[in-house]
Amino acid sequence: MGTASLIPKTNILGLIPHSLTKGRTTIGRDNTNDIIINQDTVSWQHAEIIKNGDQYEIYDLNSVNGTFINGKRIKHSVLQDGALVTLADVSFVVKIDQRREDAIAGMVYCRGCSKEIHKSAISCPHCGATQRNMGQGKSKVVAGVLALFLGGLGIHRFYLGQWWGLLYLLFCWTWIPSIIGLVEAIIFFCTDDDAWVEKYG
């Protein structure tokens, strides 16, 4: 699935087409939303759209007047090309560019829960973990060295902010984590610099 956009069907001042390029897009009347709808019938925090892998999912945030897909009230739904999304009485048409984009280039792994999220996400839509710490990116060399010498203890995973380093500790007596650490060290050292920055900052 390609890039999605919301095209306004309701004529409201300031409402323009919006590309869903972020991992999480919020919609509502409050000025903190990504898509601001100045309409009394729309709740302050009305709905949110999450880019989950190659699909877009919309969630109603307990709005007063509801969120509808093609006239049916929903709490959660996967967006399809051409669908009519209505928030209270404000409508948008979903447009999805069907040209296949490089999904891997736009996705990274959450440092908190390890699920795939869009690289532009400041926080994970699944666990809420902060993703971007400007100027505090993780070094590929450091991670590789830690994986090589301390991989059996999962130290490289802790360095990368990944909780599953605990699994390495739990099974370190089997020597399996040490072997995995050796393989991961090789993978880290062979990873392209741009790809490393995209995944680990």
Residue 79 in contact with residue 55, Cβ under 8 Å? Answer: yes
Q: How far apart are CA 37 and CA 74, in angstroms?
A: 19
For residue 183, count CB atoms less than 10 angstroms from its CB and return exposed for 0-12, middle for 13-18, buried for 19 or more: exposed
The model's pLDDT over 52-84, given as tens digits with 9 standing for 90+, comes to 888 899 999 999 999 999 999 999 999 998 999
Average pLDDT over residues 31-43: 93
The model's pLDDT over 158-174, given as tens digits with 9 standing for 90+, comes to 888 888 888 888 988 89
Other C-beta atoms within 10 Å of 94: how many?
A: 20
Average pLDDT, the chain: 84
Is it the case that residue 195 has pLDDT exceeding 50? yes
Q: How far apart are CA 182 and CA 119, in angstroms?
A: 27
The model's pLDDT over 106-142, given as tens digits with 9 standing for 90+, comes to 666 676 766 667 666 666 767 777 765 444 578 888 9
pLDDT at 162: 86
